[in-house]
């Protein structure tokens, strides 16, 4: 009996699909398409006309899908960053150094970085929805308990565990949407997920920052964690089951080989370095700017300092604007210009003049997100095979947040804000050199399309 198999592209790679095992008869396949995707677009499974199609804008399943993924972005990025605005309070309460208090953020993002590739691999075996929902709810439940930790060691251990659990959503969400939503509606669906990550990261910082003016820091964190748990429940209750996912066995040996393929590429190594140093510098500034503004000569209140986190919304607009500008002048000039804007903003935060500091805190995230949108788009274009393993960029991105952010505490402890600015400036300078090298090797090539990014990371 002739085998009923076809080749199709799914989740960024060509694979052999046994139609009979999927319940599809060869005679049903009156039409279909087989496509190799443009690197910055997502492919779809071959579906015959008689098989249920993906969600489209206005269909019954589209709204629950986008609401669920918006809630997933909210709960995940709230859980990641809800302690960042209150690092000075941890410093005061536990009597620890700024370096140790920064671990409350760095451990979370570091363990997320370590877990993100295993999470994407597990989703191929056990399903997208399960790998997203169970860890997201568990991370929120842990967050509800952590504000009452009796020791800083317990708090930090819990934050590390939250990082592992938070890896599920950023590792899997885009793949889930690509499989379940039709191509013509995919951009809008992904945009709503990105909005959820942006608002989640912002709410995670603002809610405790405002609440600590009227309640203790523990209750300020508790309020944020309860809101995060609420969004986790919305996510779990509304996310539709995956209809087009086909489980696959993943060989550790093959996965390791695919990872090495990407690490062997000099262009990708430079892009990974860019993600590491730029993100590390970005997170370091936000880890310690609260100390600078709460202390003399500024002496601002906690709620006012929390408003500074609104400045990072400038990054949302700059990443959206970077695409049209890059279409006219090229990708690499935009990347290097974004890095120069970061350096300018960083320099403006050094003088003890509040207006200059605020302008600097506006320019810094704007430059970061413009540069990051170019770098992440280029990774998507370069890593055209083994898409799960291409999350190496996510690994370097979040590992930079962890390692560089933690070491920034040493610079702050020894030299104050000037030390932080010098430390971050050197890292961003390394990123600028890497950007120049990338541009030299890609001059004259067709650019890839950029997509709007969350200021908190490629999601």
Q: Report the alpha-carbon distance of residue 47 to residue 52 in Å, rounded.
A: 8
* More confident call, 23 vs 185: 185
pLDDT tens digits, residue range 224-236? 999 999 999 999 9
Measured CA to CA in angstroms, residue 374 lies from 222, 334, 379, 389, 439 at distances of: 37, 8, 9, 20, 11
Q: Report the alpha-carbon distance of residue 186 to residue 188 in Å, rounded.
A: 6
Query: Predicted confidence band at 203 (pLDDT cuts at 50, 70, 90)?
Result: very high
Phi and psi torsions of 9, nearest 5°: -105, 135
Whether residue 443 has pLDDT greater than 60: no
Predicted local confidence at residue 262, as pLDDT: 74
Query: Predicted confidence band at 453 (pLDDT cuts at 50, 70, 90)?
Result: low
- Structural Rg of the chain based on CA atoms: 22
Q: Report the alpha-carbon distance of residue 178 to residue 53 in Å, rounded.
A: 12
Q: Report the alpha-carbon distance of residue 206 to residue 106 in Å, rounded.
A: 19
Q: What's the first-to-final CA gap in the chain, in angstroms?
A: 45
Q: Report the alpha-carbon distance of residue 5 to residue 328 in Å, rounded.
A: 44
57-250 architecture in CATH? Up-down Bundle (1.20)
Measured CA to CA in angstroms, residue 2 lies from 5, 18, 46, 286 at distances of: 9, 12, 20, 61
Contacts of 88 (CB under 8 A, 6+ apart): 101, 290, 291, 294
Predicted local confidence at residue 43, as pLDDT: 39
Predicted local confidence at residue 296, as pLDDT: 94
Predicted local confidence at residue 1, as pLDDT: 40
SS3 15: strand
Q: Which helix (H) or strand (E) holds 14?
A: strand 13-18
SS3 457: strand
Task: For the chain, give the longest Cα–Cα distance.
Answer: 82
Q: Report the alpha-carbon distance of residue 195 to residue 192 in Å, rounded.
A: 5
Predicted local confidence at residue 37, as pLDDT: 33
Q: Report the alpha-carbon distance of residue 395 to residue 400 in Å, rounded.
A: 8
Predicted local confidence at residue 336, as pLDDT: 94
In the numeric block, which tokens belong to residue 61? 């399943």
Whole-model pTM: value is 0.82
Whether residue 17 has pLDDT greater than 60: no
Predicted local confidence at residue 225, as pLDDT: 98
pLDDT tens digits, residue range 126-166? 899 999 999 999 999 999 999 999 999 999 999 999 999 99
pLDDT tens digits, residue range 279-295? 999 999 999 999 999 99
Q: Report the alpha-carbon distance of residue 34 to residue 7 in Å, rounded.
A: 7
Confirm whether 57-250 and 252-459 share one CATH topology.
yes
Predicted local confidence at residue 55, as pLDDT: 87
Query: Predicted confidence band at 328 (pLDDT cuts at 50, 70, 90)?
Result: confident
Phi and psi torsions of 447, nearest 5°: -75, 155
Q: Report the alpha-carbon distance of residue 10 to residue 45 in Å, rounded.
A: 5
SS3 374: helix
Q: Report the alpha-carbon distance of residue 280 to residue 11 in Å, rounded.
A: 29
125-129, 433-437, 454-458: the lowest-pLDDT one: 454-458
Question: Is residue 57 within 8 Å of 51, Cβ to Cβ?
Answer: no
DSSP letter string over 51-84? SPPPB-TTSTTHHHHHHHHHHHHHHHHHHHHTTG
Predicted local confidence at residue 251, as pLDDT: 74
Predicted local confidence at residue 319, as pLDDT: 79
pLDDT tens digits, residue range 298-320? 999 999 999 999 998 898 888 77
pLDDT tens digits, residue range 28-66? 333 333 233 333 334 344 344 434 678 888 888 999 999
13-17, 181-185, 345-349: the lowest-pLDDT one: 13-17
Q: Which helix (H) or strand (E) holds 318?
A: helix 314-329
pLDDT tens digits, residue range 77-118? 999 999 999 999 999 999 999 999 999 999 999 999 999 989
Phi and psi torsions of 16, nearest 5°: -85, 125
Q: Does domain 252-459 have CATH number 3.40.50.80?
A: no
pLDDT tens digits, residue range 345-377? 999 999 999 999 999 999 999 999 999 888 877
Domain ranges of the chain: 1-51, 57-250, 252-459
Q: Which helix (H) or strand (E) holds 293?
A: helix 266-294
Give the count of beta carbons closer than 10 Å to the beta carbon of residue 126.
Answer: 12
Predicted local confidence at residue 19, as pLDDT: 34
Predicted local confidence at residue 376, as pLDDT: 78
Q: Report the alpha-carbon distance of residue 272 to residue 434 in Å, rounded.
A: 10
Whether residue 378 has pLDDT greater than 90: no
* More confident call, 343 vs 61: 343
């Amino acid at each position: 009996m002739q085998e009923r198999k076809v080749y199709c592209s799914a989740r960024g790679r060509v694979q052999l699909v046994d139609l009979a095992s999927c319940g599809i008869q060869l005679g049903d396949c009156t039409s279909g398409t087989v496509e190799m995707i443009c690197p910055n677009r997502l492919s779809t499974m071959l579906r015959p006309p008689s098989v249920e199609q993906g969600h489209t804008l206005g269909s019954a399943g589209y709204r629950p899908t986008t609401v669920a993924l918006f809630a997933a972005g909210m709960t995940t990025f709230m859980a990641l960053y809800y302690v960042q605005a209150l690092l000075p309070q941890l410093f005061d309460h536990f009597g620890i150094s700024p370096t140790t208090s920064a671990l409350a953020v760095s451990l979370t993002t570091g363990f997320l970085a370590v877990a993100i590739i295993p999470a994407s691999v597990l989703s191929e075996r056990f399903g997208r929805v399960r790998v997203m929902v169970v860890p997201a709810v568990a991370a929120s439940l842990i967050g509800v308990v952590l504000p009452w930790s009796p020791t800083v060691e317990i708090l930090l251990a819990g934050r590390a565990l939250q990082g592992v659990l938070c890896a599920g959503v950023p590792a899997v969400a885009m793949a889930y949407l690509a499989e379940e939503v039709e191509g013509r509606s995919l951009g809008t669906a992904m945009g709503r997920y990105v909005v959820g990550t942006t608002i989640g990261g912002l709410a995670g910082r603002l809610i405790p920052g405002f609440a600590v003016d009227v309640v203790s820091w523990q209750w300020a964190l508790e309020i944020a964690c309860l809101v995060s748990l609420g969004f986790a429940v919305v996510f779990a209750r509304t996310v539709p089951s995956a209809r087009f996912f086909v489980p696959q066995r993943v060989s550790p040996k093959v996965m390791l080989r695919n990872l090495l393929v990407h690490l062997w590429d000099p262009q990708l190594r430079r892009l990974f370095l860019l993600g590491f140093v730029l993100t590390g510098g970005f997170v370091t500034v936000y880890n310690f700017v609260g100390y600078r503004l709460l202390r003399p000569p500024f002496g601002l209140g906690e709620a006012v300092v929390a408003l500074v986190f609104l400045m990072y919304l400038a990054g949302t607009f700059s990443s959206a604007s970077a695409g049209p500008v890059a279409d006219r002048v090229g990708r690499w000039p935009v990347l290097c210009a974004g890095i120069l804007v970061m350096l300018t903003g960083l320099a403006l935060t050094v003088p003890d003049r509040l207006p200059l500091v605020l302008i600097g805190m506006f320019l810094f995230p704007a430059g970061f997100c413009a540069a990051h949108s170019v770098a992440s788009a280029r990774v998507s274009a370069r890593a055209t095979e083994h898409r799960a393993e291409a999350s190496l960029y996510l690994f370097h991105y979040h590992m930079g947040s962890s390692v560089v952010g933690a070491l920034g505490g040493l610079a702050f402890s020894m030299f104050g804000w000037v030390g932080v600015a010098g430390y971050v400036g050197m890292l961003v300078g390394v990123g600028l050199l890497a950007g120049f090298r990338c541009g030299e090797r890609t001059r004259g090539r067709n650019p890839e399309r950029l997509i709007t990014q969350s200021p908190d990371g490629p999601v």
